[in-house]
Amino acid sequence: MSNLDSLSTVFEPELIQEMAASGSLQNFKEGELIMDYGKYIRTMPIVLKGTVKVYKLDDNGNEILLYYLSDNESCSMAYSCCLEARKSEVKAIAEDDVELLAIPHNKLDEWLCKFPSWKNYVMRSFNERFIELLKSIESIAFHKLDERLIAYLKEKQRLSGSSVIKASHSTIADELATSRVVISRLLKQLENEKKIILYRNEIKLMSGLG
Amino acid sequence: MSNLDSLSTVFEPELIQEMAASGSLQNFKEGELIMDYGKYIRTMPIVLKGTVKVYKLDDNGNEILLYYLSDNESCSMAYSCCLEARKSEVKAIAEDDVELLAIPHNKLDEWLCKFPSWKNYVMRSFNERFIELLKSIESIAFHKLDERLIAYLKEKQRLSGSSVIKASHSTIADELATSRVVISRLLKQLENEKKIILYRNEIKLMSGLG
DNA sequence: ATAGTTATGTTACATAAGTTACAGTGTAAG
DNA sequence: CTTACACTGTAACTTATGTAACATAACTAT
């Protein structure tokens, strides 16, 4: 299964064989819902292509973006959830066209002892997610919205490889858990500082952004 | 080793035997530093007695309280850190007198395949820490300081079992990543609402807190 | 082209939170 | 006792962010 080629840098050939045999390839189009709050998780996804946005919802219906998953990354929360047949605390949406490999839960356990590379991968994933969550906390707790907005734009740039961000102000507002007016205000300010140029549904990042 | 009795509800006897053999019991007095930023982690701690506070530091020297660890709980970040000989991203301080069992890193791996109860414990720990971090994010992102302060006081009450919280305003301010004046203001407001009574270094929680 | 919808710009105002400054009060040490 | 220090109370002010209301521009479908 040629789509699994990119995994060969991470896992030994026998494991990739097993993955091809028991995992299932899934495709999602841009904007499609991959995982929703409260759903039971029965497989652990590994992102092969594209980018996945992971959100958290609170009791009052507010949503906030936690982190992105891209090539060869995986959501460890899915892992521990599906080992215990727990419901999802998060929502996942395809940022662009996404291909992922879904590993059935019974294999997760089995491979843990059988393949050291799998165990290492899982542990590294846990650690990466922890670090991402810590970064989220740091960002929300210690940085003001203008700094968070700049970080957000740069992250989008990094993931897409393009310095033109395609997003509306209200989408950005949702992902940063604030209101559209506030984002428009801050973006206009950044434009006045020549750090970005605003178009409809597009934001061009200039070198001055930092 | 009688101190390990409380673990018998979680682990099978043979594992507890191994724990007693290879783990080391450590004691910390109230306020003592258990783990600091940037230190290498070589053992995974399981809290047997007392409560541990876990903090995160950001680039600008700001600290924020992430969560508490109490009986039989463990910091999964330590786990994934020490599997990869990574430096600590967090700091841990003894909230009161603490006894913990430190498991050397080489055993972590070994037990994972050997003892199902250990694997389940580790996975459950990962999940609990994720949920705690998500709660932190929710709290910081969506709740105003007065609500967070109330939640903080109630958590202290739950952990200590007493409705009299021993803490100065500036300690609380540090743990919620704000300033002393702000906390004093909010506490005074809660006192006016008859929800608490303020003393020097002590706060008495009334039933009206909710 | 027209109407409806979505995106953006902008003003005015409300509120939460951060900041500075200072006074008073309890506690500990000498 | 008195000196020093940590803790608390409060006032005045600034700033960041949230909210409501409205205008205009751009895009979509008929």
- Within chain B, residue ranges assigned H as helices are 13-22, 76-83, 105-114, 116-142, 145-160, 169-175, 180-192
pLDDT at site A1: 45
Cβ–Cβ gap B126/A89 under 8 Å: no
Cβ–Cβ gap A84/B124 under 8 Å: yes
Percentage of chain B surpassing pLDDT 90? 69
Q: Which residue is nearest to nucleotide D10 (CA to C1')?
A: B185
Q: Is the CB of B179 under 7 A from strand C?
A: yes
Q: For residue B191, which nucleotide's C1' is closest to its Cα?
A: D9
B123 CB neighbours in chain A (<8 A) are 79-80, 83-84
Cα B82 from Cα A37, distance rounded (Å) = 32
Q: Per the structure block, which two tokens stand in for A27?
A: 């495709």
Phi-psi category of residue A37: left, alpha or beta, with phi > 0 → left and psi -120 to 50 → alpha: beta
What is the average per-residue pLDDT within A35-43?
A: 90
Name the band, by pLDDT with cuts 50, 70 and 90, for residue B127.
confident
Q: Is the CB of B145 under 7 A from strand D?
A: no
Residues A131-185 pLDDT 10s: 899 999 999 999 999 999 999 999 999 999 999 999 999 999 999 999 999 999 9
Residues B66-86 pLDDT 10s: 999 999 999 888 887 777 778
8 Å CB contact between B53 and B93? yes
pLDDT at site A136: 93
Max avg pLDDT among A126-140, B110-124, B181-195: B181-195
Residues whose CB falls within 8 Å of the CB of residue A120, separated by 6 or more in sequence, listed in order: B83
pLDDT at site B118: 93
Q: Is the pLDDT of residue B2 over 50?
A: no
Q: What average pLDDT is seen over chain B? A: 91
Percentage of chain A surpassing pLDDT 70? 99
Ordered strands of the B202-205 beta sheet: B164-166, B202-205, B196-199
From the list A77, A123, A129, the residue facing B84 with the nearest CB is A123
As a rounded value in angstroms, the CA-to-C1' distance for A121 and D14 is 49
As a rounded value in angstroms, the CA-to-C1' distance for A27 and C16 is 44
Nearest C-alpha of chain B: how many angstroms from A67?
12
Nearest CA in chain A to B78: A127
- Higher pLDDT, residue A64 or A98: A98
- Higher pLDDT, residue A2 or A115: A115
Ordered strands of the A202-205 beta sheet: A164-166, A202-205, A196-199
B66 CB neighbours in chain A (<8 A) are 134, 137
Cα A117 from Cα A119, distance rounded (Å) = 5
Phi-psi category of residue A61: left, alpha or beta, with phi > 0 → left and psi -120 to 50 → alpha: left
Cβ–Cβ gap B136/A137 under 8 Å: yes
Location of each CATH 1.10.10.10 domain in chain A: 143-209
8 Å CB contact between A25 and A3? yes
Nearest to A109 by CA among A92, A96, A125, A122: A122
B179-187 LR contacts (CB < 8 Å, sep 24+): B182/B145, B183/B149, B186/B145, B186/B146, B186/B149, B187/B149
- Higher pLDDT, residue B41 or A61: B41
pLDDT at site A2: 46
- What CATH number was assigned to the domain covering residues A2-141? 2.60.120.10
Interface with A, mutate which of B76, B112, B119, B126 (most A CBs under 10 A) = B126
Pairs of CB atoms within 8 A across A/B: 105
- Chain centroid to CA A91: 10
Max avg pLDDT among A17-26, A111-120, B84-93, B123-132: A17-26
From the list B66, B83, B120, the residue facing A123 with the nearest CB is B83
- What CATH number was assigned to the domain covering residues A143-209? 1.10.10.10
Q: What average pLDDT is seen over chain A? A: 91
Q: Is B162 exposed, middle or buried (0-12, 13-18, 19+ CB in 10 A)?
A: exposed
Interface with B, mutate which of A75, A76, A80 (most B CBs under 10 A) = A80
Taking the alpha carbons at both ends of chain A, their separation in whole angstroms is 42
Name the band, by pLDDT with cuts 50, 70 and 90, for residue B109.
confident
What is the average per-residue pLDDT within A80-105?
A: 88
Cβ–Cβ gap A77/B136 under 8 Å: no
A133 CB neighbours in chain B (<8 A) are 130, 133-134, 137
What is the average per-residue pLDDT within B139-150?
A: 96
Location of each CATH 2.60.120.10 domain in chain A: 2-141
pLDDT at site A199: 97
From the list B66, B123, B140, the residue facing A80 with the nearest CB is B123
- pTM for the model: 0.92
